Amino acid sequence: MSSRSTGSSSQSDVSKARKVPFRRCYCGLSAPFSTSWSDKNPGRRYFGCQYWPNTKEDCGFFEWYDDEVSEWYKEVLNKLKPKKKSLKSEGTEDREASVLNHVRVMIGLFVIFMIMVLVLLCLLLKG
């Protein structure tokens, strides 16, 4: 039994495309919609002059699109950002970790060995 769709998939959804926010800066150009990743406003969207980092051309237009970022949201997003700690001085930690892994493997093998000995002993005692 197969359930075929009767071709009712509506194509009208395409016309319902979300409105892209649009602003014009003082230059009369469309202001790009971007997302801030500063520590103060992580993930907060804004409009700015498309010439922005170029201070000669920039008309100074700037407008937030989102409301101010709440404190917990800032915290979460700042935690998600990759940390800039240098990973160079981890050689010794690496060695320690590998030793620990070695010990764990040895303990695992030892446990398995003990279980086998116990099973063998049980079998010997029964037989």
- Stretch 48-67: interaction string toward Zn ion, x if CB under 5 A: -x---------x-x------
> Is residue 23 involved in binding Zn ion (CB under 5 A)?
no
- Please say whether the beta carbons of 46 and 25 come within 8 A: no
Count the neighbouring beta carbons within 10 Å of the beta carbon of residue 9: 7
> Which one of 7-15, 24-32, 39-47, 113-121 is the stretch in contact with Zn ion (CB under 5 A)?
24-32
Q: Running DSSP on this structure, what letter comes out for residue 90?
A: G
Q: Which is nearer to Zn ion, 23 or 43 (CB)?
A: 23
> Which one of 5-13, 27-35, 76-84, 94-102 is the stretch in contact with Zn ion (CB under 5 A)?
27-35
Q: In angstroms, rounded to a whole number, what is the distance separating the alpha carbons of residues 116 and 127? A: 16
Length of the chain: 127
Binding residues for Zn ion, per CB under 5 A? 25, 27, 49, 59, 61
